[in-house]
A and B are shown apart, each in its own frame.
Chain A
Amino acid sequence: DIQMTQSPSSLSASVGDRVTITCRASQSISDYLNWYQQTPGKAPKLLIYAASSLQSGVPSRFSGSGSGTDFTLTIGSLQPDDFATYYCQQTSSTPYTFGQGTKLEIK
């Protein structure tokens, strides 16, 4: 199985900050990488697919980049609704696997 490792596991930031979350794959996955946002008690929500494509309806302050083994999710200017847990997911090969999550908390 392809292992996905996110860093950091948790992050404190303030409204208006720019934050970056990293996801590393244990082997090359090209750009078969998705990002999801999950708030407590809710289902995950798709933000980014194919490493850098913004899902319809997702604010443009979210962006993704990377290819191969290293990927980043950037939030341009944090808003109150952005404090959540973020997961990356690889779909290069089955079983599709997720990172362990990055919890973004208010400073």
Chain B
Amino acid sequence: QVQLQESGPGLVKPSQTLSLTCTVSDGSITSGGYYWSWIRQHPGKGLEYIGYIYYSGSTYYNPSLKSRVTISVDTSKNQFSLKLTSVTAADTAVYYCARDKIDQLVLGYYYYYMDVWGKGTTVTVSS
């Protein structure tokens, strides 16, 4: 069963760059049929979709964060990463990585759902 694990600093200073890595184990990031996604959850709040990457390198970013976000993939390490620049206290959240399955349930129609999640990592932005 594929497992995901987030890693990175738990504390980032305002205006700096938040960098997180998600390591994929017991499965290959290049197996196809999946996007590899980042989602965050502000303290006590709901879920916000940040963006995804395909193993080929194609990406999607939420327009609300697009100017500050970069998601990259390292297939040799079976990892994908998130960078968020110019952080503020509003970026304090639990960050999750997830596997986003691309499922053609009906010919020509693709469904997307996050079937495997990492445990999440808390990132606090504070000086």
Query: Is A55 among interface residues, defined by CB-CB distance under 8 A?
Result: yes
Residue of B nearest to A30 (CB): B109
Q: How large is the interface on A (under 10, 10 to 19, 20 to 34, 35 or more residues)?
A: 20 to 34
Q: Please report A residues at the B interface, Cβ cutoff 8 Å.
A: 32, 34, 36, 42-46, 49-50, 53, 55, 87, 89, 91, 94-101
Q: How many A-B residue pairs have CB under 8 A?
A: 56
Given A43-B118, A43-B119, A50-B105, are A97 and B49 also a contact pair (CB < 8 Å)? yes
Name the prevailing secondary structure of the A interface residues.
Answer: loop
Given contact pairs A43-B96, A97-B49, A55 touches B115 in the complex (Cβ within 8 A): yes
With both beta carbons as reference points, the residue of chain B lying nearest to A32 in the complex is identified as B111
Residues of B within 8 A of A (CB): 46-49, 60, 62-64, 96, 98, 103, 105, 111-115, 117-120
List of B residues within 8 angstroms of A87 by Cβ: 46-47
Q: For the complex, what is the distance from the CA of A99 to the CA of B47, rounded to whole Å?
A: 8
**CB-based contact A95/B115 at 8 Å:** no
Report how far A97 CA is from B63 CA in the complex, Å. Answer: 12
User: Given contacts A49-B103, A98-B48, could you give 5 more A-B pairs where the C-beta distance is less than 8 Å?
Assistant: A32-B112, A44-B47, A50-B111, A55-B113, A91-B113
| Shortest Cβ distance from A46 into B: residue | B115
Flag if A91 contacts B111 (CB, 8 Å).
Answer: yes
Whole-angstrom distance between the alpha carbons of A46 and B101 in the complex?
Answer: 11
